[in-house]
């Protein structure tokens, strides 16, 4: 179980050097050539002239690279040490099913509460304004709440385990906080009841609402990987970096991440647990590849595995999985190793943050690994012929459209998942990993 609840983070020391975090929507990456699981993908490339991309990819290569060299540290308890130099952080984006005999605890009756207005820095979108949250009962006191990122349904999920020690997994964005709070209230979770908030990683679509939720649920401890804790304590650099990447879209999609009080943070590494009450717990293990500070969670009672973005992005409408490989942390070998770790737990169900429960565990995990290999190989082949990243993006898009016609046949579906996890961001992440791990020698 999480033994750090009585060992909160200490106050930060003055930074010897400034630190900066980068937030870009995307996902993971790794070494295709050296990976033991690597299978060569034979594919024919038709090269065409490609239009120039938006400035976001350029921003990464021109500005973000030197920024990520900056360092900074804070002091934390001995058992929680191990936080290295802060890595730039990305912002986006990844479910399964099964039932068991967990003890069902009746929810407490809802009680009136007052949410501090100052914690809702950005007004909700029209879809969020009504505070109507779509929830789904997944059995064994597990509920999925649609956090409606950017007003879109069906792309971002948070999960409630409503036992004797209620636990919320993921918060969604800051703009989604009123939606999540309304959903918890509808499920009978009062401000004094929520015991724990866990985030799989600190990208803004997963942890952007943590400050608002912590303020609304004053007894909840916030569990996060030790490398991400400092950025929840003081999110200034993370938010500023996100604004440079997303510009005006920052407010519409994410909103302002509010700081979490130091004493509320519990930093974890691997092999920790979260106590859910009555002998039930979440097993925590480190799951890098998408982000270096990523963790996965397994419910001891149900066998549910909360994937975060480590298994990619699942599209329930077409039952397809898409890679999540954003810069700067994507690493193919680490991502595939994390998939092995997840498979080794023999989960009964995958609960994707993007989006929903999946019971065909082996099939979806295999599809996720295959897509990862295919995208990496496509970017590699494009780079060998034309180093311009615009060409790689266009080629990946063209091939993906041919491989997944059902996904692209629905323009609205394509548009909302593109906003969540754009092809451009995934290609930039893959290309960055390739350039670092397999540089082209002239």
Q: Half-sphere exposure of 291 toward its Cβ, with a 13 Å CA cutoff? A: 34
- How many CB atoms are located within 10 Å of the residue 84 CB? 10
Range with lowest mean pLDDT among 75-79, 139-143, 428-432: 75-79
Residue 290 lies in a domain: yes
pLDDT, tens only, 309-324:
999 999 999 999 999 9
Peptide bond just before 328 cis, omega within 30 deg: yes
Residue 83 lies in a domain: yes
57, pLDDT greater than 70: no
pLDDT, tens only, 239-274:
988 888 788 889 999 999 999 999 999 999 888 999
CA distance 257 to 121: 9
pLDDT, tens only, 79-110:
333 333 333 333 333 333 332 223 223 334 44
CA distance 106 to 190: 13
pLDDT of res. 440: 81
More confident residue, 71 or 320: 320
395, pLDDT greater than 50: yes
CA distance 182 to 296: 26
Percent of the chain residues topping a pLDDT of 70: 70
More confident residue, 295 or 1: 295
Instruction: Let me know: does 164 contact 317? Beta carbons within 8 Å.
Output: no
Range with lowest mean pLDDT among 113-127, 149-163, 325-339: 113-127
Percent of the chain residues topping a pLDDT of 90: 64
The residue among 33, 52, 28 whose CA lies nearest residue 389 is 52
CA distance 327 to 1: 32
Range with lowest mean pLDDT among 13-27, 150-164, 341-355, 382-396: 13-27
Peptide bond just before 201 cis, omega within 30 deg: no
Q: Token digits for 5?
A: 């609840």
Q: Half-sphere exposure of 338 toward its Cβ, with a 13 Å CA cutoff? A: 34
CATH of the domain at 128: 3.60.15.10
More confident residue, 397 or 64: 397
pLDDT average, residue stretch 172-191: 96
Instruction: Let me know: does 323 contact 163? Beta carbons within 8 Å.
Output: no
Residue 74 lies in a domain: yes
Residue 442 lies in a domain: no
pLDDT, tens only, 123-143:
333 333 345 679 999 999 999
pLDDT average, residue stretch 138-165: 96
pLDDT of res. 131: 56
- Count Cβ atoms within 10 A of the Cβ of residue 40 and give its class: 0-12 exposed, 13-18 middle, 19 or more buried: exposed
pLDDT of res. 245: 76
CA distance 328 to 21: 10
pLDDT-derived band at 202, boundaries 50, 70, 90:
very high
Three-class secondary structure of residue 176 per DSSP: coil
More confident residue, 240 or 284: 284
pLDDT of res. 442: 64
**What residue numbers bound the domain in which 272 lies?**
3-437
> The tokens 């065409």 sit on which residue?
48
Query: How many domains, the chain?
Result: 1
CA distance 428 to 277: 43
Residue 227 lies in a domain: yes
pLDDT average, residue stretch 10-38: 35
pLDDT of res. 101: 28
- How many CB atoms are located within 10 Å of the residue 88 CB? 25
Residue 332 lies in a domain: yes
The pTM of this model reads 0.73
CA distance 213 to 274: 18
pLDDT of res. 133: 75
Q: What is the mean pLDDT of the chain?
A: 77
């Amino acid at each position: 179980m999480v033994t750090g609840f009585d060992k909160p983070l200490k106050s930060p020391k003055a930074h010897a050097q400034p630190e900066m975090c980068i937030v870009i929507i995307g996902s993971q990456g790794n070494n295709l050539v050296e990976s033991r699981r690597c299978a060569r993908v034979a594919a024919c490339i038709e090269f065409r002239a490609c239009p120039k991309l938006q400035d976001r990819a350029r921003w990464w290569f021109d500005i973000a690279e030197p920024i990520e060299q900056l360092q900074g540290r804070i002091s934390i308890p001995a058992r929680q040490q191990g936080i290295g130099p802060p890595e730039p952080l990305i912002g986006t984006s990844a479910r399964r099913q099964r039932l068991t005999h967990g003890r069902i605890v009746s929810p407490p009756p809802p009680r009136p509460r007052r949410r501090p207005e100052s914690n809702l820095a950005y007004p909700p979108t029209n879809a969020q304004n009504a505070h109507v949250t779509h929830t789904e009962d997944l059995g064994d006191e597990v509920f999925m709440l649609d956090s409606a990122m950017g007003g879109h349904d069906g792309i971002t999920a948070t999960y409630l385990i409503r036992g004797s020690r209620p636990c919320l997994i993921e918060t969604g964005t800051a703009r989604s906080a009123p939606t999540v709070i309304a959903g918890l209230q509808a499920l009978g979770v009062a401000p004094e009841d929520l015991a724990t908030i866990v985030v799989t990683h600190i990208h803004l679509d997963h942890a952007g609402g943590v400050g608002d939720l912590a303020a609304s649920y004053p007894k909840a401890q916030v569990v996060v990987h030790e490398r991400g804790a400092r950025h929840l304590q003081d999110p200034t650099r993370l938010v500023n970096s996100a604004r440079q990447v997303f510009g005006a879209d920052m407010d519409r999609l994410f909103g302002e991440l509010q700081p979490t009080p130091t004493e509320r943070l519990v930093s974890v590494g691997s092999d920790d647990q979260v106590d859910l009450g009555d002998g039930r717990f979440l097993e925590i293990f480190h799951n890098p590849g998408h982000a270096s500070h990523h963790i996965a969670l397994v419910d001891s009672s149900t066998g549910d595995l909360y994937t975060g973005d480590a298994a990619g992005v699942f599209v329930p409408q077409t039952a397809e999985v898409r890679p999540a490989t954003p810069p700067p942390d994507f690493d193919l070998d680490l991502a595939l190793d994390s998939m092995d770790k997840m498979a080794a737990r023999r989960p009964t169900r995958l609960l994707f943050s993007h989006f929903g429960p999946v019971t065909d565990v082996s099939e979806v995990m295999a599809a996720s690994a295959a897509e990862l290999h295919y995208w990496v190989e496509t970017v590699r082949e494009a780079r060998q012929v034309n180093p311009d990243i615009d060409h790689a993006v266009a080629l990946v898009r063209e091939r993906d459209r041919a491989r997944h016609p059902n996904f692209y046949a629905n323009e609205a579906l394509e548009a909302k998942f593109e906003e969540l996890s754009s092809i451009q961001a995934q290609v930039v992440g893959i290309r960055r990993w390739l350039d670092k791990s397999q540089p082209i020698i002239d």
